[in-house]
Structure 1
Amino acid sequence: MNVKTISLLAIIATWGMNAHASGAFGALDVLRAEQNISATAAGSIVPVCEFDRAPSRPLPLAEAVERTLCNNPKTRAAWAAVKAQAAGVGVARAAYLPTISANLQGVRENSVTNVDNHPMLSTDIASTVHAESVSLNWLLYDFGGREAALKNANALLEAARATQDATLQSFFAQTAKDYYASKTAIGSLQAAQDVELMTRQSMTAAQARADKGVAPITDALQAQTQHEQAVFSLTKAQSDAQTALGTLAADMNLDPSMPLELPAVTDNVQTGKDFSEPVAAMIRDVQLSHPSVRAAQAQYEAAMAKVTQTRAQGLPSISLVAKYSRNNEPQSMGVGEPTFPSTGHDAYIGVQLSIPLFEGFGRHYQVDQAKAQAERQEYALEDAKRQVGLDVWSSYQTLTGATQNAQNSANLLAIAQRSWDAAKHRYDAGVGNILELMNTQAALANAKQRRVQALADWDNARVDLAAKLGRLGRGDLE
């Protein structure tokens, strides 16, 4: 009896009765395989998933992310995969324990034998027969097969947990992206409304000047044209905003038609870099610690353990076998003699050696197949490291550009606003022309759109880089 078997038996003796008292998932966890499963689909990011039926108004980013991580079908599927692999570890640990089976049989037996020309030798037996047996089989040694199976199960569990972490990071970032996209769409809608009002006022002023004869009718027509273009843009902005809000609702597993209200885009955000370490250091770190890399590493280790397990399954094994049985089958002294009630029992205990002698060369090819799978996982690990490094590099450059453009957009908006104010003042004073007014008007509308987009791009780039680094957590919800 090895150390692992003794440890598992001790666990059963200590925890068996307590675990039997509860029926919740993981409660009947005698072999401690399911004890570290997160309480929710959101893992440690959201320990308790409890929400009102309708989202808050306005909806903060924290609630949007929490609802998504808790309720999105894909995050729940990743959580279920962890549960399945944890149960697989339990199965692998159970292989160290004996199997005990009982067989109970109760039959009504009626046996008739007619011997021609010798009626004295004929029999007619009717009896009720009971038989009970208990069998034990305990695999004692198998050249490392069970140990390799347990390593494989543990590695697959670690891969499932890392995959869950990667899924949560991905949906955290996706929800933030959709959240900021919704805010951008709403900000663009507000900007389009401002532009529509601005062009309507210009159209009214141009029409008044044309009516008074101080400006040509073409000024009024050009102002009307620009106003119609603003109305067109406003209609599209309304559609884009509803589409973005529906996408965000779907992330949270809500009906896309669920009304959502988001806080307004403001200019008081601090668009500074949150990551001061060199990008090369980020890439080195992420190639070791990112959840997708950890998942690939665990898959590779599981594949290597599978090679050992497959090879060991073709080697001899030693088992302890035992059986006890009893029955009350009636006995007869001979042909034609009456039967008499009787009881009997049978018992044995011993050691069984099983030696696979020939499997049609199948074991050889099974080992080759397992080796090829391990080789494929090794390449998948290399590719995961390559991909996360590229993702960090790209996200870092995007954040750098978004940070610079956030300041550029503020400067652009300030200049465009002053240009518009000056052009409107000149036009109202009668010294400016409609072309100058419309040009500055269009420039201001464009600057407002770019400012809204730049702020959203910076927020999204910041969260995206954190996700690519695998660092998104509860602190990012504040």
Structure 2
Amino acid sequence: MSADLAPRYPRWLAAMGMVAALLAAMPACNGEPAPFDPLLARPPELDRGKLLPGDEQGMVCTSSSFGPGKVLTLADAVDLALCHQPQVQATWASIKLQAAQLGEARAAYLPTLNAGASRYRDGISAEQGSSTRSVGTLYATLTWRLLDFGGRSANQRAADVLLQAASASQDATLQKAMAAAVGLYYEAHSARAAEQARERALQLAHQVLATAIKREQRGVGSLPETLQARSFVAKAELELARAVGQHKRSLVALAVGLGLLDQAGDVPVLTLSSEVEEDPLGLEQNLPGWLQSARQYHPAILAARAQLEAAREKVKVARSEGLPTLDLSASRFINGRPNQAGGSRGDRETVVGLNLNIPVFEGFARNYKIDGAQAQVELREAELRDVQAQVLGDIATTYAEATTALRSMASSRSLLEAAQRAVESVRRKYDAGAADIVEMLNAQSVLSEAELERIRCLSDWRSARLRLLANAGEMGRSSFATSSAPLKPPARP
């Protein structure tokens, strides 16, 4: 725009300057705490955090990282996984994308305003001489769609349910991320318990060896018994070395799964918290209850249903595009119209009109577009049935594993207590010379296997318990409080 237009049209220039300043002041939706959202398309969870099932506070990631020397609890491990896994971060971006598309759908109900300016210079040459004329043109156009036979409303409903689908898909991703973090954490915890059990077995083997040496020196025992005890010590040392290696591998896998390896640049030293081993009370809800809860609230099923509903709305959008539309337009021109020479200074023109657009023939493209939209509906229906079958099948399988683990817990405790009493009894007899080395080593082997079986059963219960919650879409921070409470889904509104 030329500078000499300013003194002639101060009101127009002031209004256009205010519009330009407002547009320049609008911040982009780039993940800032309070982005510009005049149409209220941004869901509150982007600012308040995701509320997990059974929790009272939303999940909000902070900039603080896991420090060295800090005891890593199960809740800390889950928080690290939820804040650093790329799959979870991608779901946040998907929600922002769907929120932006919802804003676009809502913006279709509002009018659009365009303004512009141009300048023309005409030069005329004749026998009497030459002359030059300079004209500046200002214009503004308002366009507002008044009627479209349901196309905008269907598009907005589709955007709404797609945003719900993105949120439900994120819930399903969070459940998988928490289940993976819990699995890695308990694997490391069980590996540490197995290492400690092997250490106790090695100590007991050294004690048996010391007793065998004393018996041989007193003439009560024999050299073969001492050699057997030494062989048992060597075997215990080998098993301990393997347990130490397995423990280290599980810690590395845990660090990688939680994203700690990328932050520190090296494998951090992790110290896991100690947990009290308690037998659980049981499963409070039966299998039909878990399945019914999953049908109503599982995020993967909710996401598939939302996708199906959005596909049905897209069919309405495709059909409405072949129906008439009615638009209101209003334009204001000063000094002529743009891109048209011949205007003069001082001209004022106002144009107001109604535009009715009736599609007549589009080469049958509309029919094929509707057929494609209906095919998408059929595809989404098949995906919904597949998701339901997979989710309910996983729940039934995990429920059977959890009930089996429950029955094994009491048996493993009884086995461990009996093995401990047997070792103490045989040890007293061995010290008194009433039992041989074979009986002592057999009792010690049974005790070592009983300890490992107890650890295995406890790990199976923890894994099955939390996998059942994750497969049902009901896992939250409150699920990590204790493993002895009756297992049931959190209450839903």
Query: Unmatched 5+ residue regions in structure 1?
Result: 1-15, 114-118, 330-338
Counterparts in 2 of 1:187 and 1:42: CA distance versus 1, 3 Å: farther
AA aligned to 1:120 is E
Distance 2:195 2:118 in 1: 79
Q: Is the 8 A contact 1:73 1:253 kept in 2?
A: no
Identity, % of aligned pairs?
33
Deviations 1:197-232 (A, max 9, x none): 222333343345456654443333333333222222
State the secondary structure of the residue aligned to 1:445: helix
- The alpha-carbon deviation at position 358 of structure 1 amounts to 2.5
1:54 pairs, out of 63, 67, 86, with 67
Counterparts in 2 of 1:322 and 1:194: CA distance versus 1, 3 Å: same
Verify: 1:405 aligned to 2:403, yes or no. no
Q: How does 1:9-408 map to 2 (within 5 A)?
A: 24-25=32-33, 27-39=35-47, 42-44=50-52, 46-50=58-62, 51=64, 53-54=66-67, 57-106=70-119, 109=121, 111=123, 120=127, 124=130, 126=132, 128-210=134-216, 214-255=220-261, 257-267=267-277, 269-273=278-282, 275-327=283-335, 342-408=345-411
Distance 1:71 1:442 in 2: 43
Counterparts in 2 of 1:178 and 1:63: CA distance versus 1, 3 Å: same
- The alpha-carbon deviation at position 307 of structure 1 amounts to 1.0
Per mean C-alpha deviation after superposition, the further-off stretch among 399-408 and 74-83 is 74-83
Distance 1:318 1:20 in 2: 31
Per mean C-alpha deviation after superposition, the further-off stretch among 217-226 and 153-162 is 217-226
Verify: 1:440 aligned to 2:443, yes or no. yes
Distance 2:249 2:50 in 1: 26
State the secondary structure of the residue aligned to 2:272: coil
State the secondary structure of the residue aligned to 1:293: helix
Deviations 1:338-366 (A, max 9, x none): x9973434331111112222222222111
State the secondary structure of the residue aligned to 1:103: strand
Counterparts in 2 of 1:183 and 1:342: CA distance versus 1, 3 Å: same
Deviations 1:63-95 (A, max 9, x none): 222232233322222122112212211111101
- The alpha-carbon deviation at position 21 of structure 1 amounts to 9.7
Per mean C-alpha deviation after superposition, the further-off stretch among 90-99 and 463-472 is 463-472
- Aligned length in residues: 444
- The alpha-carbon deviation at position 254 of structure 1 amounts to 1.4
AA aligned to 1:452 is I
Deviations 1:284-330 (A, max 9, x none): 2311221111111101000111111112112221111122222379x
AA aligned to 1:369 is G
TM-score by length of 2: 0.82
Q: Is the 8 A contact 1:187 1:264 kept in 2?
A: no
AA aligned to 2:148 is D
Counterparts in 2 of 1:228 and 1:322: CA distance versus 1, 3 Å: same
Counterparts in 2 of 1:363 and 1:474: CA distance versus 1, 3 Å: same
- The alpha-carbon deviation at position 383 of structure 1 amounts to 1.6
1:422 pairs, out of 422, 425, 429, with 425
Query: Unmatched 5+ residue regions in structure 2?
Result: 1-21, 482-493
Q: Is the 8 A contact 1:26 1:34 kept in 2?
A: no
AA aligned to 1:157 is L
Q: Is the 8 A contact 1:40 1:70 kept in 2?
A: no
Deviations 1:266-287 (A, max 9, x none): 33x24111x3232123212311
- The alpha-carbon deviation at position 47 of structure 1 amounts to 4.0
Distance 1:159 1:340 in 2: 55
Distance 2:236 2:37 in 1: 65
Q: Is the 8 A contact 2:146 2:326 kept in 1?
A: yes
- The alpha-carbon deviation at position 432 of structure 1 amounts to 2.1
Distance 1:139 1:441 in 2: 85
AA aligned to 2:107 is A
Distance 2:238 2:49 in 1: 43
TM-score by length of 1: 0.84
Distance 1:132 1:383 in 2: 60
Counterparts in 2 of 1:340 and 1:232: CA distance versus 1, 3 Å: closer
Over the aligned positions, Cα root-mean-square deviation in angstroms equals 2.9
Deviations 1:148-167 (A, max 9, x none): 10111011011011111112
Distance 1:406 1:395 in 2: 16
Counterparts in 2 of 1:305 and 1:238: CA distance versus 1, 3 Å: same
Q: Is the 8 A contact 1:141 1:319 kept in 2?
A: yes
Per mean C-alpha deviation after superposition, the further-off stretch among 145-154 and 363-372 is 363-372
Distance 1:264 1:64 in 2: 14
Distance 2:321 2:444 in 1: 79
Q: Is the 8 A contact 2:114 2:141 kept in 1?
A: yes
State the secondary structure of the residue aligned to 1:277: coil
Q: Is the 8 A contact 2:135 2:345 kept in 1?
A: no
State the secondary structure of the residue aligned to 1:132: strand
Distance 1:340 1:171 in 2: 67
Distance 2:194 2:325 in 1: 72
- The alpha-carbon deviation at position 29 of structure 1 amounts to 1.5
AA aligned to 1:311 is R
Q: Is the 8 A contact 1:177 1:460 kept in 2?
A: yes
Counterparts in 2 of 1:467 and 1:212: CA distance versus 1, 3 Å: same
State the secondary structure of the residue aligned to 2:474: coil
- The alpha-carbon deviation at position 473 of structure 1 amounts to 2.6
State the secondary structure of the residue aligned to 1:39: helix
Q: Is the 8 A contact 1:286 1:469 kept in 2?
A: yes
Distance 1:418 1:346 in 2: 105
